[in-house]
A and B are shown apart, each in its own frame.
Chain A
Amino acid sequence: MAERIAGTSHLDLKNRPSTRGAQLRMLERPFKAKVGLRGGEDVIRAVEPVLGFALPRRVGETGSGSGAHAFWIGPDDWIIVYEPGREAQIAQALREACRGLHHAVIDLSERMTTICLEGQPLRDVLAAGCPLDLHPRAFRPGMVLQSHLGKANVILHYVAGNADRPFVDLYTNRSFADYVWKYLENAAREFGYEIVA
């Protein structure tokens, strides 16, 4: 019986070699809900009551509340992420709120996948291909960065944790998950990593 296909399905992560108990842990969470939102000040005012939190206004910032995070992508561009299953409902509520305004609300849940990274080595591992400053002074909990890892575009969301044990969610387009995953494995080899699948 055919199944839903994730970005790394063909890599068979369950049976892929990794080191139990390694400091760095990685897994793919392919089906989180992601909704793209475009609009100006009027749209911000219209959707904030629906979201229940303020949209971020500056580069690197996120807004969060009730299990959702909004990423700043551009001056009139956000991606809002939720746990799986609510994408249609969220998108509908946002569209209702924006009725009559110049806006775009678009479901991107399937376009992007999420690779979750946890553990102290992750900054060095990401720094193998990401040219941004990932030092704890520059990349702090609650921040989001848009960059690339090698040749793949990525969004990095510092979800929680501290310098010793950060949790970072990496978002990339689904067909790049294969490349990103292998890139991370190659960079993480010297530190050891555990695949959680």
Chain B
Amino acid sequence: MSQKARIAQGGRIDRSRTIRFTFDGKRYEGHPGDTLASALLANGVHLVGRSFKYHRPRGFLSAGSEEPNGLVQLEMGGGRTDPNFKATQIELFDGLVAESQNRKGSLRYDRNAVNDRLAHFLPAGFYYKTFKWPAAFWTKVYEPRIRAAAGLGKAPTAPDPDRYLHRHVWTDVLVVGAGPAGLAAALAAARTGARVILCDEQPEVGGSLLSESGRGITVDEVAPDAWLERAKAELGQHPELTVLTRTTCFGYYDHNYLGLLEKVTDHLADPPPDLPRQRLWRVRAKQVVLATGAIERPLVFPDNDRPGIMLASAARTYLNRFGVLVGREVVVCTSDDSAYDAALDLQGAGAKVTVVDQRHTPIGERVVHAQTAGITILRGQGPVGSQGRFRVAQLHVQALDEAGRPIMGRVQALSCDAVLMCGGWNPTVHLFSQSRGKLRWDEGLAAFVPGEGMQEERSAGACRGSWTLAEALVEGLAAGTEAAVAAGFEAHPTPAPAVREPVLGPHQPVWLLEGDRAGQRAWVDFQNDVTAKDLKLANREGFRSIEHVKRYTTNGMATDQGKTSNVTGLAIVAENLSRPIPEIGTTTFRPPYTPTTFGAFAGPSRGDLFDPVRRTPMHGWAERQGAVFEDVGLWKRAWYFPKPGEDMHAAVERECRAVRNAVGMFDATTLGKIDIQGKDGAEFLNRIYTNAWSKLGIGKCRYGLMLREDGMVFDDGVTTRIGEQHFHMTTTTGGAAGVLAWLESWLQTEWPELQVYLTSVTEQWAVIALQGPKARDVLQAVLTRGDISKEALPHLSMTEAEVAGIPARIFRISFTGELGFEVNVPASYGEIVTDALHRAGQPFGITPYGTEAMHVLRAEKGYIIVGQETDGTVTPQDLGMDWAVSKQKDFLGKRSLSRPDMLSPDRKQLVGLLPVDPKLVPGEGAQIVESPKPKLPAKMIGHVTSSYHSASLGRSFALALLSGGRARHGQRLWVSHGDGTAEVEVTAPVFIDPEGARLHG
């Protein structure tokens, strides 16, 4: 059998089925229920990675999500590749392909392993000290080399082919962690009828019980296993209890909002295509129970990082859950009773076990059991070194004094193939801390436990430092009940289960075991290669705040976020600085608890669903006319309508000529439209527009400018009086939502006395603009009711009529300078009316035109576009639009317009530019300068805002904002163009029909 470390029976794996997988190109076998880590260990593979900086050989430290060493790249085919996966969390499936990371060459012969020899030159902070000079070397030499050498896995290069979904959910009680405490809490809460979610990162519920041999433990007279089965059976009986396995609660945010990541198909060889790969649960919980357990601490001693040296709890999990015996000759080093469970279980599975206990007089019941079982216990001794290149072969132990310092004297070498360490336990307080709860150092437990909470939560079991099973079950029951009651449910008292288990003796931490030789390195952060020496150096160099020490040494900054290194690191810093641990404090716990893929956060927001794509009702019609579209806000707008063989330039020229000489039609549906009703409508408009509205007659339209309080142009549009107390406002396409929110905020917060109701009607109407000398002829041809004659419907007026049998509001408005109508019909009829107008227009040469031609036509006439001629720093005076600003009444922004700077003659003012070369079209945004070859840095006196070729003028032209521009008409200036400049003549910003004869035709 190739799985030489697999024991014959026991564990939660299915030995009847075999799974094949590949690691670093070599094929192995495992069983359903295995993780990649357990399967590799079953095959005797302990060397699984190289450390980040020194490229030291590394094996698994843990069996869970705290793993710092066993990171792999998962290759899933079809562009799927994921770096930095913890092999301890990957469920094995048939055909799994994994590669080790952070090596140059093979795991055994890593060429970067030379770094380990150079360790003296690579202490903490070497980066900041070494690469300072010469400065030019940074980009050319240092950074490229460091980048090549650094890094863990490879980022994928192809787009992520998987689907990710989100699910919002509300719950009365969220229980995080499905170990004994979490199970007890969830069941207690569910029994009250509350809505409960129980989540756990593991594929099955049970938590620590999944790794439990059950030696000497009963719960209500049965083995823990049997209790777990009972609890699982009850989970299924509560219809309002949702159990989410393979689901990590990664973030705890304000207002009891929590993020859960469910790995839906990651464990499947052949995932069903209709399922998302992962689902992000966005949970709003009335109450939260944290039952997140605890993470065992490694011991910090010289060369504690060799493959085969792991946490005692991990060895126990590999044995009891996965049926893998991690060594035949095992030394257990501990300062805590819990490791004796591992010693007893591994001895029971056939290993030769020696315990090295740092405590001089351990007294717990487990110690007695071990002694009875014939296990050698070396009391008052500790590890001070190890040997073994790719797997530990020897552990050096030495007697310790009462304070835990090695006593000079004989170093005993114990031969072994596995070392299990236990430096005590850290409650998993990450989520509690994320919820802004304050941590408290418990001297007796030698651990940080939850202190004062800030949100509706409570902790139960090991995550609050309650180590025993009895405490977990009692606290879980109480927490679940309390949470449900706090959420408004009624609980009936349930007795806590009766638990028999060995009595624990006290834990006595020894934070750092220093070796007998100078220069030895004892690892604190395994992933980032931070040693106790590095911490000492940082303290010696003056770093005292733990936040600074963390950043200088990178302790706790790896992808495991210091789950096994933070507390030992700060305890060592406390010793170095001779200060108590609580004074040092902890660094901040931040989400996510474990790495979470970007795809899960993006969820469905990609491709078609990245943003809504808004289409007008005439979109399909325009498509059939060959339109090319452009994005304007979320809208798709017809940009131009090329005929076969035409480029954009030719199409736009043709469209512009048609409007000036015959008639064009244009889809103006996207303009914002706001319905204004109420007796104070005119007064409201007076306040928000710069011009006066009181005297506007019914059926008349007026152009208006809106300013912000600072006097800068914010939006513009035409508003029409439909009735005495009824107005129809139009806004820019992009500004529609913002303008409505702006108006509502003034109405609701500043002017509640005004009787005005605002309603968005942008989407109620389809709008077809007919523009050109033949516009009236075309409209008349399909007009079924109403009068659109020059007399009945003069420029800037509106009539209710009927077009092609459809009721319509017809506005006489022009944004081209030509005779123009804007026909508004109920949106769904937009295509019908467009089609009718297009047919009727054929004899007149009607031409659909797009936004580009619209831009050219309005610029020829000097009409501004907010956001093109304006950028939030432009006033009406700057635009030469004083005619639209009332001198009599007050309006938003008025006071700002009389500030001294607003009146300065050198403000940038709107002008026209005619390039001396009539074929040259300056770039929009091009800077204006006063000489053809200005001395650098050139004095920039303005910039081009719009620039086109004009068919009507037979030449190029531009609009620009120019310092003191109105006084410069007739001047010759230069605009930046390509590598040089181009000469232009400054003119008034109107190029066509300045008298407006066409407009009123």
Instruction: Give residues in A with beta carbon < 8 Å to B.
Output: 2-6, 9-10, 30-31, 36, 38, 102-104, 106-112, 124, 127-133, 135, 137-138, 150-152, 173-176, 178-179, 182-183, 186-187, 189-190, 192
Inter-chain CA distance A48–B690, complex, in Å, is: 40
- Known contacts being A10-B615, A175-B616, is A129 close to B827, with CB within 8 Å? no
Residue of A whose beta carbon sits closest to that of B636: A175
Closest chain A CB from B431 CB (angstroms)? 21
B282:A176 contact, CB within 8 angstroms = no
Closest chain A CB from B227 CB (angstroms)? 31
Inter-chain CA distance A109–B618, complex, in Å, is: 18
A30:B764 contact, CB within 8 angstroms = no
Inter-chain CA distance A35–B405, complex, in Å, is: 83
* Residues B329-375 near A (CB distance < 8 A): none
CB < 8 Å neighbour of B614 from A2, A124, A129, A176: A176
Give the residues in chain A near B620, CB-CB below 8 Å.
5, 9-10
Inter-chain CA distance A130–B616, complex, in Å, is: 25
Interface membership of B552, Cβ < 8 A: no
A5:B830 contact, CB within 8 angstroms = yes
Closest chain A CB from B114 CB (angstroms)? 51
CB < 8 Å neighbour of A175 from B195, B612, B835: B612
B604:A183 contact, CB within 8 angstroms = yes
Give the residues in chain B near A175, CB-CB below 8 Å.
612, 614-616, 634-635, 763
CB < 8 Å neighbour of B275 from A109, A176, A190: A190
Residue of B whose beta carbon sits closest to that of A112: B763
Give the residues in chain A near B826, CB-CB below 8 Å.
109-110
B757:A111 contact, CB within 8 angstroms = no
**Size category, B interface:** 35 or more
Residue of B whose beta carbon sits closest to that of A133: B170
- Known contacts being A103-B677, A133-B284, A135-B195, is A127 close to B827, with CB within 8 Å? no
Inter-chain CA distance A182–B612, complex, in Å, is: 10
B764:A179 contact, CB within 8 angstroms = no
Give the residues in chain B near A109, CB-CB below 8 Å.
764, 826
B678:A127 contact, CB within 8 angstroms = no
CB < 8 Å neighbour of B613 from A3, A174, A178, A186: A178
Residue of A whose beta carbon sits closest to that of B610: A151
The 5 closest A-B CB pairs, nearest first, are A179-B612, A175-B614, A104-B757, A133-B170, A104-B677
- Known contacts being A5-B831, A38-B757, A131-B282, is A173 close to B613, with CB within 8 Å? no
A190:B274 contact, CB within 8 angstroms = yes
Interface membership of B115, Cβ < 8 A: no
Inter-chain CA distance A111–B648, complex, in Å, is: 33
A129:B755 contact, CB within 8 angstroms = no
Residue of B whose beta carbon sits closest to that of A176: B612
B759:A106 contact, CB within 8 angstroms = yes
Query: Can you identify 12 A-B contacts, CB atoms within 8 angstroms?
Result: A6-B828, A103-B677, A110-B765, A111-B760, A124-B167, A131-B168, A135-B195, A151-B605, A174-B828, A179-B611, A182-B608, A183-B604
Contact with A along B596-637 (1 / 0, CB 8 A): 000000001100110111111111110000000000001100
A174:B827 contact, CB within 8 angstroms = yes
* Dominant secondary structure at the A interface: loop
* Residues B642-678 near A (CB distance < 8 A): 675, 677-678
Closest chain B CB from A128 CB (angstroms)? 5
CB < 8 Å neighbour of A30 from B828, B831, B832, B836: B828
Beyond A2-B621, A31-B828, A38-B757, 20 additional contacts (C-beta under 8 Å) are A2-B834, A4-B831, A9-B620, A10-B620, A102-B679, A108-B764, A110-B827, A124-B167, A129-B168, A129-B604, A131-B282, A132-B168, A137-B195, A150-B609, A151-B612, A175-B615, A175-B616, A175-B763, A179-B611, A182-B609
Interface membership of B761, Cβ < 8 A: yes
A186:B609 contact, CB within 8 angstroms = yes
Give the residues in chain A near B762, CB-CB below 8 Å.
111, 173
Give the residues in chain B near A190, CB-CB below 8 Å.
274-276
CB < 8 Å neighbour of A178 from B275, B615, B618, B831: B615
Chain B CB count within 10 A is highest, among A36, A103, A151, A175, for A175
Give the residues in chain A near B615, CB-CB below 8 Å.
10, 175, 178
Inter-chain CA distance A102–B760, complex, in Å, is: 18
Closest chain A CB from B620 CB (angstroms)? 6
Inter-chain CA distance A102–B747, complex, in Å, is: 15
Interface membership of B231, Cβ < 8 A: no
CB < 8 Å neighbour of B763 from A6, A102, A111: A111
- Known contacts being A3-B832, A36-B759, A190-B274, is A111 close to B170, with CB within 8 Å? no
Closest chain A CB from B741 CB (angstroms)? 13
Inter-chain CA distance A124–B618, complex, in Å, is: 34
Give the residues in chain B near A174, CB-CB below 8 Å.
617, 763, 827-828
Closest chain B CB from A74 CB (angstroms)? 10
Interface membership of B908, Cβ < 8 A: no
* Residues B165-190 near A (CB distance < 8 A): 165-170
Residue of A whose beta carbon sits closest to that of B272: A190
A103:B757 contact, CB within 8 angstroms = yes
Instruction: Give residues in B with beta carbon < 8 Å to A.
Output: 163, 165-170, 195, 274-276, 282, 284, 604-605, 608-609, 611-621, 634-635, 675, 677-679, 755, 757, 759-765, 826-832, 834-836
Inter-chain CA distance A6–B677, complex, in Å, is: 28
Give the residues in chain B near A104, CB-CB below 8 Å.
675, 677-678, 757, 759
Chain A CB count within 10 A is highest, among B614, B635, B835, for B614
B170:A135 contact, CB within 8 angstroms = yes
B611:A151 contact, CB within 8 angstroms = yes
Give the residues in chain B near A103, CB-CB below 8 Å.
677, 757
Inter-chain CA distance A196–B722, complex, in Å, is: 40
Closest chain A CB from B711 CB (angstroms)? 31
Closest chain B CB from A180 CB (angstroms)? 8
Give the residues in chain B near A132, CB-CB below 8 Å.
168
Give the residues in chain B near A111, CB-CB below 8 Å.
760-764, 827
Inter-chain CA distance A124–B617, complex, in Å, is: 31
Give the residues in chain B near A151, CB-CB below 8 Å.
605, 611-612
Inter-chain CA distance A192–B757, complex, in Å, is: 43
B614:A38 contact, CB within 8 angstroms = no
Inter-chain CA distance A127–B975, complex, in Å, is: 55
Give the residues in chain B near A3, CB-CB below 8 Å.
831-832
A4:B828 contact, CB within 8 angstroms = yes
Give the residues in chain B near A106, CB-CB below 8 Å.
675, 677, 759, 761
Residue of A whose beta carbon sits closest to that of B832: A2
Inter-chain CA distance A66–B155, complex, in Å, is: 61
A107:B764 contact, CB within 8 angstroms = yes
Closest chain A CB from B36 CB (angstroms)? 27
Inter-chain CA distance A38–B755, complex, in Å, is: 11
- Known contacts being A102-B678, A107-B764, A110-B765, is A127 close to B609, with CB within 8 Å? no
Give the residues in chain B near A127, CB-CB below 8 Å.
167-169
Give the residues in chain A near B836, CB-CB below 8 Å.
2
Inter-chain CA distance A129–B604, complex, in Å, is: 9
Closest chain A CB from B785 CB (angstroms)? 15
Residue of A whose beta carbon sits closest to that of B680: A102
CB < 8 Å neighbour of B166 from A112, A128, A178, A192: A128
Give the residues in chain B near A124, CB-CB below 8 Å.
167
B165:A187 contact, CB within 8 angstroms = yes
CB < 8 Å neighbour of B828 from A110, A150, A189: A110
Give the residues in chain A near B195, CB-CB below 8 Å.
135, 137
Give the residues in chain A near B677, CB-CB below 8 Å.
38, 103-104, 106
Closest chain B CB from A61 CB (angstroms)? 20
Inter-chain CA distance A108–B635, complex, in Å, is: 20
B755:A189 contact, CB within 8 angstroms = no
Give the residues in chain A near B679, CB-CB below 8 Å.
102
Inter-chain CA distance A112–B827, complex, in Å, is: 10
B274:A189 contact, CB within 8 angstroms = yes
Closest chain A CB from B247 CB (angstroms)? 16
A186:B604 contact, CB within 8 angstroms = yes
Inter-chain CA distance A131–B757, complex, in Å, is: 29
Residue of B whose beta carbon sits closest to that of A36: B759
Inter-chain CA distance A192–B608, complex, in Å, is: 20
Give the residues in chain B near A187, CB-CB below 8 Å.
165, 604
Closest chain A CB from B241 CB (angstroms)? 13
